[in-house]
Structure 1
Amino acid sequence: MTTNERKYTPDHEWITVDGDIATIGITAYAADRLGDVVFIELPEAGADVAGGTVVGEIESTKSVGELFAPVDGTVIEVNTAAIDEPAIVNRDPLGDGWLIRVRFTALPDLLDADQYAALVSR
């Protein structure tokens, strides 16, 4: 995976990689399906996460969604702006609405943009 090439999970998270740091957020599809995001709960910096496990919650006016860790590693940064102003996830889910940064130990197989587009078009 080249630096900052966006990849996706079947659980509707996106990931970009810079060295051994993964920036993770939810996709525009997920943000749209959730509706207006009103609350976000994320792990604290320093927390260890395991790929495929729930690491946070995203609450909207419609439902509560879970955030899954796509990688094993340690959270090194949390987007406090998203916690303080959850609507940022709706406005810019692929940019300023990122959620956590994780120093990871290995990358799993992830979906590319075409594979993710095919997944959500079913």
Structure 2
Amino acid sequence: MSWWLVKTEPEEWSFDDQAKAGPSPWTGVRNFQAQKHMAAMAEGDDVFFYHTGKEKAVVGTARVAKGPYGDPEDEKGRFVLVDMEAGTRFKTPLTLAAIKADARFEHLALVKQSRLSVMPIDDAAAALFLKLGGL
């Protein structure tokens, strides 16, 4: 199993929206590198749910409910989707400022590639995210 982080604008699709919707397609990812990461996801992988915009924080966990499959909206067959379902909300959101201030996270794409919307998270960082988020 792998850990991933996905970003979303909470005004468009929030953790609460995901929780209410149940397993549903993670859409709108068109960046090549983010798509490469989505294609590497597998059913059962764990995911950190990150709110962008004003909040800028990891707010909870999710799970890949269905592995990669072709995006039906993509006529050229270049893009994939995964189905995501909400997991547990963090007791304490883990802010981007806190992540950037912690040297243990300096290697993460979240710090180095701020515009990337889907990225892997290594096991050591994932364990720290969970601890700092109160889970």
Query: Is the structural similarity TM-score above 0.5?
Result: no
TM-score between both structures, scaled by the size of structure 1? 0.31
User: Which structure carries more helix by proportion?
Assistant: 2
Larger of the two Rg values belongs to structure: 2
